[in-house]
Amino acid sequence: MKCPFCAYPESKVVDSRPSDEGNSIRRRRECLSCARRFTTYETVEFVPIIVVKKDGRRQGFDRRKILNGMLRACEKRPVSVDALEEIVNRIEQDLQSAMEHEICSEALGEIVLRHLRDLDEVAYVRFASVYRQFQDIGSFMSELDKLIKDK
């Protein structure tokens, strides 16, 4: 780490401790040239995830959009908000660890559906009816038949 006072390129770490609720590390450093001390913070750098919409538009991943959609699907269902937030956390973590910078909205919707199917079948059907834009009762019944067969 370059010293902010004399620009010497080397320093030693005097003290390290967690900061910002464990999301970063605070380090006290001492310059090996001028012996002055300074503080640095080390944080994880997240790659922004871009969602490619059906019409080709690109926008940043917004966890609130996913959570709001799942909340609507789970309305009046015995599903806790904590369980939904955990799903959103898992989805976001999986996307970050996949190291893909872009995901199409269709793939993201399928991921959400997979999690909802395991959580609550009624919420799954509600989300699927909006996400897959069922045009008639036949397509809706087809989705229900798939759900029954998978059980």
At 130, is the pLDDT very low, low, confident or very high (cuts 50, 70, 90)?
confident
Summarize the confidence of residues 24-44 as an average pLDDT.
Answer: 94
Tell me how many domains the chain contains: 2
Q: What percent of the chain has pLDDT over 90?
A: 59
- Asked if residue 145 has pLDDT above 80, the reply is no
36 and 55 housed in the same domain: no
54 and 83 together in one domain: yes
Percent of the chain residues topping a pLDDT of 70: 95
Q: Using CA atoms, how far apart are residues 6 and 85, in angstroms rounded to an integer?
A: 47
Q: What is the mean pLDDT of residues 43-65?
A: 90
Q: What pLDDT score was predicted for residue 53? A: 92
Res. 143: pLDDT tops 90: no
Task: Report the pLDDT value the prediction gives residue 1, as an integer from 0 to 100.
Answer: 86
58-78 pLDDT, tens per residue?
999 999 999 999 999 999 999
Statement: the pTM of the whole predicted model exceeds 0.75 = no
Helix (H) or strand (E) holding 65: helix 63-73
Full domain range(s) for residue 33: 11-43
Q: Mean pLDDT score of the chain, rounded to an integer?
A: 88
72, 127: one domain? yes
Q: Model confidence at 84, in pLDDT bands (50, 70, 90)?
A: very high
Judge if 141 and 107 occupy the same domain.
yes
Examine residue 2 and state whether it is found in any structural domain, yes or no.
Answer: no
Measure CA 8 to chain center. Answer: 39
**DSSP code for 80:** -
Do 132 and 61 lie in one domain? The reply is: yes
Collapsing DSSP states into helix, strand and coil, what is residue 133?
coil
Please check whether residues 35 and 105 belong to one and the same domain: no
Shared domain for 100 and 122, answered yes or no, is yes
The reply to whether 78 and 19 lie within a common domain is no
C-alpha dihedral sign at 56, 58, 64, 66? positive
Q: Is pLDDT of 150 > 80?
A: no
Paired tokens of 110: 């399928």
Backbone angles phi, psi at 130, to 5 degrees: -80, -45
State how far the Cα of 2 lies from the Cα of 31, in Å rounded to an integer: 8
124 belongs to a structural domain: yes
pLDDT for the residue numbered 124: 84
Burial class (CB in 10 A: 0-12, 13-18, 19+), 98: exposed
> Tokens 């871009």 identify what position?
50
Identify whether residues 65 and 83 lie together within a single domain. yes
User: Does some domain include residue 3?
Assistant: no
